Amino acid sequence: SQELEQSPQSLIVQEGKNLTINCTSSKTLYGLYWYKQKYGEGLIFLMMLQKGGEEKSHEKITAKLDEKKQQSSLHITASQPSHAGIYLCGADLNNRKLIWGLGTSLAVNP
């Protein structure tokens, strides 16, 4: 089974709607990284969370880390077509390398 589970696998929302993507680890998290990827391209770093309860925002994207649940959520407020893409979470499990979720594919309909 996956060490890092992302949900949902895919999401289609209407422009202007809010959405949440979750990333859950089966092991203790020492760092959680969110990236965005356009189809067939490289990953673009969004945010990094390291401390329990930490919350970071960038424009209309907010990410939180729940250390107890070993889970992070990525929330997009008032989604826009430019938010479309694949969102990937990567986790540092204290072995000096990242493991990755399978990604959440987001489509935003205008």
Angle of CA points 2, 102, 38, to nearest 5°: 165
Which tokens go with 104? 């959440």
> Nearest distance from residue 78's CB to other proteins, in Å?
27
Q: How many residues does the chain have?
A: 110
CB of 10 to other proteins, least distance (A): 10
Any idea of the CA torsion for 57, 33, 102, 61, to the nearest 10 degrees? Answer: 10
Of 13 and 48, nearer to other proteins (C-beta) is 48
Residue ranges that bind other proteins, judged by CB under 8 A: 4, 31, 33, 35, 40-45, 48, 50, 88, 90, 92, 96-103
Taking the least distance from each CB to other proteins, the nearer of 35 and 106 is 35
Judged by CB, which is closer to other proteins: 4, or 84? Answer: 4
Q: List phi, psi (to 5°) of 95.
A: -120, 25
Residue 59 Cβ, how far from other proteins at the closest point, in Å? 19
Whichever of 18 and 28 has its CB closer to other proteins, that residue is: 28
Q: How far is the CB of 88 from other proteins (least distance, A)?
A: 6
| 55-58 and 4-7 beta bridge pairing | unpaired
Give the burial class of 81: count Cβ atoms within 10 A of its Cβ; 0-12 exposed, 13-18 middle, 19 or more buried.
exposed
